[in-house]
Structure 1
């Protein structure tokens, strides 16, 4: 009998692929995804510089600092009233170098623990500073003593349970008085790879004191230091304000020279050796290049300040008038700052 010819099945009756119907769909999705990727043009693939700059830039991430609540007291460069106030405030004579800063440092009545060590390092940070033992004298008598000897500022280090916990800065002779909470104190001996400061006048750096209150506090801190730093000493004292916390750091810059090996092709050597050696060999000569890099060495101490009160005049707890007082209800919003 003659063999019957097998009829070809129509395309609709063809068997599904070996992987099944689900696998065919996943393959089609994969191909579509690859095509979509191929259609996206990256900025690095655009040859024209002008067209390459047209794609939108990356968006700036939202942080607590750049989403802070609007504040009418933020200082602006064209604020003429602010500059006029600077010429009439209590720090003008020192900051314009009509007077040399002279700082008296004392303690509370019962000073112990790390208080004396902190004062010793604070005296190395602030030039022309002098220490007087408090004893049993009242603070008002200490203020009068400092006025009579032409001190421009008075710093009182307060200790609690043998640990420094507050700092009182009094501008002389007429104030103001700033009361700071002191925390996270680390002395020089506890800082790894610390350096020892020299007697040169340091350079002062103040960061992020943006409001009128912050501007006033910054000028008060600035009046503690001479306005003619000695850059040969390479000392830098930094007060960095972030979210109303003032971080203090003291560094000394060191310039080091490092030798770097650079491989460069020697054309003459390559031409002379090309006859005897294969062309694939590249003859390189190592050159010694010196690079200068600066390294910041921390000298200490390291601590954090938070402003609690700012008072008119010198220290007076009974009849003193306050410019600004920190209250608990001010901390209801994380995006509200005062300095």
Structure 2
């Protein structure tokens, strides 16, 4: 009965009782280990020795499956490819990004508000009404007007980000959209060009998607504006956040030494830095990446997500 798992017990009350006992026992063991570790660290510090290394907790991220496409710092082929890819002229500042934002034909009620906020985030972004135009016609128009990218917005469906003039086209699923007005204590962004932060785009595919997104923005941030736009990849979900730095000067009284009687306390100024979210914030999930500029029939795909890829929780593609 000792080694019997709670799941093997048929009686619900007994199963709950055994489960609660096991949980309590694990908690006590965890506390006991923590006390032993703290005592060992304290003893090492008293002896002037290096404290024992703390065990690294196992997470889904640090136990991910080995991926041969993970980029390495000495990957010469990768850096050579950067100089020849579709985004190099923008990322080398040889061409200024110019983004056309439109909607699908039947866009959601939150679409226009989201587009207004995207325009405030992406410098040199312009909205054009979709109307009844086919997307291929819009691509043709954008090429003629020297746009470098097209973003098609639909808050309820999967829509593309298209690199111009020759692609590629990335389809993302947009979720967890929160508009600026719904963010508590939100800030209002300025027109300064933002600083960009990209985290965890580690594979060849992730590197390519990172460069595609990066090509939507100018590469010369104006740091005076204190604006920062973050794309954080975690488990193949790309989290978008938009913040501004706030610098505040606070006065604090210096503590007086004992035995010096009552003296007027000196004040010192401290500069405190914090982040204020400007919004919007949302999550992107890559559905596919295709060669060229949007083709639903004869498209050639670089990568596409398939249900059979989701067999392991520790397998990531970006």
Structure 2 gap ranges (5+): 1-34
Q: Given the alignment of the two structures, is residue 172 of structure 1 paired with residue 164 of structure 2, yes or no? A: yes
Does the CA contact (< 8 Å) of 2:161 and 2:169 recur in 1? yes
Change (3 A) 1:336 1:265: same
Does the CA contact (< 8 Å) of 1:265 and 1:284 recur in 2? no
**Residue number among 313, 330, 337 corresponding to 2:309 in the alignment:** 330
Match of 1:143 in 2: 139
Structure 1 gap ranges (5+): 1-36, 271-281
Change (3 A) 1:85 1:254: same
Mapped partners of 1:44, 1:328: distance in 2: 51
Superposition pairs for residues 154-173 of structure 1, below 5 Å? 154-160=150-156, 165-173=157-165
Does the CA contact (< 8 Å) of 1:181 and 1:308 recur in 2? yes
Question: SS at the partner of 1:310?
Answer: strand
Q: TM-score, normalised on structure 1?
A: 0.80
Q: TM-score, normalised on structure 2?
A: 0.85
Shift of 1:158: 2.0
> How big is each residue's C-alpha offset from its partner over 1:195-214, in whole Å with a ceiling of 9 and x where there is no partner?
11000000010000000000
Shift of 1:265: 3.1
Match of 2:214 in 1: 222
Question: SS at the partner of 1:248?
Answer: strand
Superposition pairs for residues 168-317 of structure 1, below 5 Å? 168-265=160-257, 270=260, 282-317=261-296
Instruction: Give the greater-gyration-radius structure (CA).
Output: 1
Does the CA contact (< 8 Å) of 1:265 and 1:285 recur in 2? no
Question: SS at the partner of 1:133?
Answer: coil
Runs of 4+ with >4 A deviation: none
Q: Given the alignment of the two structures, is residue 79 of structure 1 paired with residue 58 of structure 2, yes or no? A: no
Match of 1:130 in 2: 126
| Structural RMSD (CA) | 1.8
> How big is each residue's C-alpha offset from its partner over 1:205-234, in whole Å with a ceiling of 9 and x where there is no partner?
000000000000000000000000000000
Mapped partners of 1:82, 1:196: distance in 2: 38
Aligned residues: 282
Does the CA contact (< 8 Å) of 1:263 and 1:284 recur in 2? no
Mapped partners of 1:147, 1:197: distance in 2: 30
Does the CA contact (< 8 Å) of 1:209 and 1:215 recur in 2? yes
Mapped partners of 1:300, 1:223: distance in 2: 20
Mapped partners of 1:217, 1:119: distance in 2: 21
